[in-house]
């Protein structure tokens, strides 16, 4: 192929940028306006409005003559108490526990109906392999087990494997050990009953217990917890011995289960062989509804519509636009166009599809995920791309296909945001992830359609079209790379114990860790940090990028003092912070 031909083809391959005000931009504007409209009520999971959004997408596919379907998965939308009774016996004394004050059911709790089961205190209910063990020497079977929710921020617990830290993981272990019930000792009042992350309902009854509810029925549990923190040794205690402490419990929960939609459409490939292989283009359709959960807008945002124009009406509209354009392009491989529900609740829709694929999973060769692509900065247009499970070379090649008028900051691995592509990379499918960055309206009622950069969105759609066609028409598709699929935990692998409150600018910055803003009421805000500042030192450590910042932050605990140095324009500024714990 002569150089001019390759130059011509190369020119043809690089994304052609649609003129501003293009037809594509108009269609994108129309779809975002509808999906982020007040009447769609923030497309909450379990809301009928999310079904309306799915029906809108399905109509678009039908109008294009594409084969399309709605796949539904179960989602616990609401959970409420139907029957309840809790009686604590201590020696001769009997005392009812008050629901909503002393105790409350936890959203994934099972039902209960038992009498006088003895209590045992089991610290935090953890067992560190070859190390700390709250279970050592304790009888758990058929006991009511009291564990504290909050893990101590001491080194002894820092090495507890990530998957075993969550309350759910600890309760599941007690269920396996056939405990009769779990009482979760809170640091304060009992937590209100609400649906918990994920589609989970356990068999074991689980109650949230306010800090003082037991009185002295189990002695001084706070002293035991302090002993654990101070000594790093377990302080479990069985209350089957005198004074006998037991619980009689009756609990029946009612769950409203909704069937949440995923929408899947197919553009069949034109190549007799390659059409058996699929390239997935995906975006989540759900958002936060009225902000019952995951809202960052504070108490006043609860009950307000969270329109989610950028998160993720922008990505949802972009995938519809790709469907329109790729149908015309007649790719060699087949294209699956997917709109997921349940992303905000833990990637539920995409992980459901991976477990119940509508098309042969082993034939899915690559996945492109668009989540929050509506806020390309017109002044400094930069797209963030992740390549979880994709070979580095594929990401480099993709960058070369980008139009000249926006730059790309690419990072293999999981650095750039968690979203539905993670369900695919965990199924060993290489992915690209597209994201225009975090902003002050993220997960707030202010994420509205009037803030969307539609000319930018149209440019990204053109780029997405180029990449999708490149993959669909190539002789071979880049293979899955397990190295880049690793979800890297930074620092000591333990959880982040302090909250600082910066909104990261995920784009690489040669000088340090640049921020896009600060969260209200945070330490960063109190120190006077602002959008555009570049953090260069934290707590005596040099900060060259977001990883260094996470490491430096991860090395601190609540109450620690840390000197922070940052650049603002050509000024170097510094202040000392007293770090606060995560709430
Ligand atoms: Zn999102």
How many A from CA of 310 to the centre of ligand 1?
A: 8
Report d(CA 566, CA 513) in Å as an integer: 9
How many A from CA of 277 to the centre of ligand 1?
A: 27
Answer yes or no: is 407 within a domain. Answer: yes
The end-to-end CA distance of the chain, in Å, is 61
What per-residue confidence (pLDDT) applies to 11? 45
Answer yes or no: is 395 within a domain. Answer: yes
- HEC sequence for 361-392: HHHEEEEEEECCCCCCCCCCCEEEEEECCCCH
* DSSP character string of 285-329: --B-TTTSSS-SS-GGGTTS----IIIIIIHHHHHHHHHHHHHHH
pLDDT at 536 over 90: no
How many A from CA of 150 to the centre of ligand 1?
A: 28
Crossing angle for the helix pair 48-63 and 315-329, nearest 10 degrees?
Answer: 20
Question: Residue 7 — pLDDT band, cuts 50, 70, 90?
Answer: very low
Range(s) of the domain holding residue 417: 3-77+257-473
Q: What are phi and psi of 501, to 5 degrees?
A: 95, 30
Q: Are residues 444 and 518 in the same domain?
A: no
Q: Are residues 314 and 370 in the same domain?
A: yes
State which of 220, 243, 266 marks the end of a domain: 243
Residue reference for tokens 């803003």: 517
How many A from CA of 323 to the centre of ligand 1?
A: 20
How many A from CA of 344 to the centre of ligand 1?
A: 7
Q: Are residues 398 and 468 in the same domain?
A: yes
Answer yes or no: is 86 within a domain. Answer: no
Q: What is the CATH number of the domain that holds 502?
A: 2.30.42.10
How many A from CA of 371 to the centre of ligand 1?
A: 5
How many A from CA of 536 to the centre of ligand 1?
A: 29
Q: Are residues 30 and 124 in the same domain?
A: no
State which of 243, 275, 293 marks the end of a domain: 243
What per-residue confidence (pLDDT) applies to 159? 62
Answer yes or no: is 539 within a domain. Answer: yes
Q: Are residues 514 and 383 in the same domain?
A: no
Q: Are residues 418 and 457 in the same domain?
A: yes
Q: Are residues 325 and 454 in the same domain?
A: yes
Which tens digits make up the pLDDT trace of 290-331?
Answer: 998 888 888 899 899 999 999 999 999 999 999 999 999 999
Which tens digits make up the pLDDT trace of 14-29?
Answer: 555 556 678 999 999 9
Q: Are residues 271 and 236 in the same domain?
A: no
User: Helix, strand or coil for residue 140?
Assistant: coil
Answer yes or no: is 148 within a domain. Answer: yes
Q: Are residues 441 and 549 in the same domain?
A: no
Answer yes or no: is 485 within a domain. Answer: no
Lowest-pLDDT range of 112-116, 283-287, 556-560: 556-560
Question: Residue 531 — pLDDT band, cuts 50, 70, 90?
Answer: confident
Q: What are phi and psi of 573, to 5 degrees?
A: -120, 160
What per-residue confidence (pLDDT) applies to 8? 43
Q: What are phi and psi of 94, to 5 degrees?
A: -125, 135
pLDDT at 200 over 70: no
What per-residue confidence (pLDDT) applies to 177? 93
| Percentage of residues in the chain having pLDDT higher than 90 | 55
Q: Are residues 263 and 383 in the same domain?
A: yes
How many A from CA of 82 to the centre of ligand 1?
A: 34
How many A from CA of 501 to the centre of ligand 1?
A: 19
How many A from CA of 577 to the centre of ligand 1?
A: 31
Lowest-pLDDT range of 158-167, 244-253, 488-497, 561-570: 488-497
How many A from CA of 32 to the centre of ligand 1?
A: 14
How many A from CA of 279 to the centre of ligand 1?
A: 21
How many A from CA of 212 to the centre of ligand 1?
A: 39
What per-residue confidence (pLDDT) applies to 409? 81
How many A from CA of 321 to the centre of ligand 1?
A: 18
How many A from CA of 381 to the centre of ligand 1?
A: 20
State which of 187, 213, 243 marks the end of a domain: 243
H or E segment at 123?
none
Q: What is the CATH number of the domain that holds 22?
A: 3.40.630.10
What per-residue confidence (pLDDT) applies to 358? 98
Q: Are residues 433 and 356 in the same domain?
A: yes
Answer yes or no: is 249 within a domain. Answer: no
How many A from CA of 67 to the centre of ligand 1?
A: 26
Q: What is the CATH number of the domain that holds 217?
A: 3.50.30.30
H or E segment at 504?
strand 502-504
pLDDT at 447 over 50: yes
* More confident of the two residues 402 and 59: 59
What per-residue confidence (pLDDT) applies to 197? 61
Answer yes or no: is 502 within a domain. Answer: yes
How many A from CA of 532 to the centre of ligand 1?
A: 23
How many A from CA of 315 to the centre of ligand 1?
A: 9
* DSSP character string of 189-231: SPPPP-PPSSS---SS-EEEE-TTTTTTBTB-HHHHHHHHHHH
Q: Are residues 53 and 105 in the same domain?
A: no
The pairing of beta strand 498-499 with beta strand 580-581: antiparallel
How many A from CA of 195 to the centre of ligand 1?
A: 20
How many A from CA of 64 to the centre of ligand 1?
A: 26
Which tens digits make up the pLDDT trace of 41-68?
Answer: 999 999 999 999 999 999 999 999 999 9
Crossing angle for the helix pair 48-63 and 23-35, nearest 10 degrees?
Answer: 160
How many A from CA of 68 to the centre of ligand 1?
A: 23
Q: Which of 552, 520, 550 is nearest to 538 (CA)?
A: 552
Which tens digits make up the pLDDT trace of 238-267?
Answer: 876 655 689 999 999 999 889 999 999 999
Number of domains in the chain: 3
Lowest-pLDDT range of 338-342, 408-412, 469-473: 408-412
């Amino acid at each position: 192929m002569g150089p001019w031909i390759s130059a011509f083809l190369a020119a043809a391959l690089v994304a052609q940028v649609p003129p501003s005000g293009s037809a594509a931009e108009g269609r994108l504007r129309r779809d975002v306006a509808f999906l982020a409209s007040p009447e769609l009520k923030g497309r909450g999971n379990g809301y009928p409005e999310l079904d309306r959004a799915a029906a809108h997408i399905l109509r678009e596919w039908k109008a294009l003559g594409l084969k399309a379907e709605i796949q539904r998965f179960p989602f616990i939308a609401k959970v409420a108490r139907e029957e309840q009774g809790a009686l604590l016996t201590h020696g001769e004394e009997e005392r009812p526990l008050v629901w909503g004050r002393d105790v409350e059911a936890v959203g994934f709790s099972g039902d209960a109906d038992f009498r006088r089961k003895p209590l045992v205190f089991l610290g935090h209910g953890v067992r560190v392999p070859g190390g700390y063990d709250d279970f050592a020497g304790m009888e758990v079977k058929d006991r009511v087990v009291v564990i504290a929710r909050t893990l101590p921020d001491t080194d002894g617990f820092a090495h507890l494997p990530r998957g075993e830290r969550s309350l759910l993981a600890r309760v599941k272990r007690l269920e396996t050990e056939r405990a009769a019930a779990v009482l979760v000792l809170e640091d304060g009042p009992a937590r209100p009953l609400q649906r918990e992350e994920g589609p989970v309902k356990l068999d074991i009854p689980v109650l949230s217990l306010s800090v003082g509810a037991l009185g002295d029925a189990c002695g001084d549990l706070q002293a035991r917890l302090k002993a654990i923190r101070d000594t790093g040794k377990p302080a479990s205690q069985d209350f089957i011995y005198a004074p006998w402490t037991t619980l009689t419990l009756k609990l029946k929960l009612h769950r409203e289960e909704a069937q949440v939609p995923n929408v899947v459409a197919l553009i069949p490939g034109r190549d007799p062989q390659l059409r058996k292989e699929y390239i997935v283009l995906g975006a989540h359709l759900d958002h936060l509804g009225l902000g019952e959960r995951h809202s960052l807008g504070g108490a006043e945002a609860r009950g307000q519509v969270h329109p989610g124009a950028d998160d993720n009406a922008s990505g949802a509209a972009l995938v519809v636009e790709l469907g329109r354009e790729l149908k015309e392009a007649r790719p060699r491989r087949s294209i699956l166009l997917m709109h997921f529900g349940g992303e905000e609740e833990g990637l539920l829709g995409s992980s459901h599809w991976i477990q119940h694929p509508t098309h042969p999973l082993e034939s899915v060769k690559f996945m492109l995920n668009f989540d929050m692509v509506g806020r390309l900065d017109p002044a400094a247009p930069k797209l963030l791309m992740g390549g979880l499970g994709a070979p580095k070379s594929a990401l480099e090649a993709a960058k070369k296909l980008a139009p000249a008028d926006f730059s790309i900051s690419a990072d293999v691995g999981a650095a750039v945001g968690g979203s539905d592509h993670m369900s695919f990379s965990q199924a060993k499918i290489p992915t690209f992830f597209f994201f225009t960055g975090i902003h002050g309206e993220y997960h707030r009622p202010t994420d509205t359609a009037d803030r969307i950069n539609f000319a930018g969105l149209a440019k990204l759609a053109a780029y997405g079209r180029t990449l999708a066609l490149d993959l669909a028409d190539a002789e071979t598709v880049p293979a899955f790379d397990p190295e880049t699929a690793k979800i890297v935990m930074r620092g000591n692998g333990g959880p982040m114990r302090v909250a600082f409150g910066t909104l990261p600018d995920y784009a690489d910055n040669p000088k340090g860790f640049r921020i896009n803003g600060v969260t209200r009421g945070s330490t960063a805000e109190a120190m006077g940090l602002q959008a555009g500042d570049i953090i260069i030192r934290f707590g005596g450590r040099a900060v060259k990028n977001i990883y260094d910042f996470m490491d430096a932050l991860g090395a601190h605990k609540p109450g620690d003092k840390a000197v922070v140095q940052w650049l603002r324009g050509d000024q170097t500024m510094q202040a000392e912070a007293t770090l606060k714990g995560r709430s």
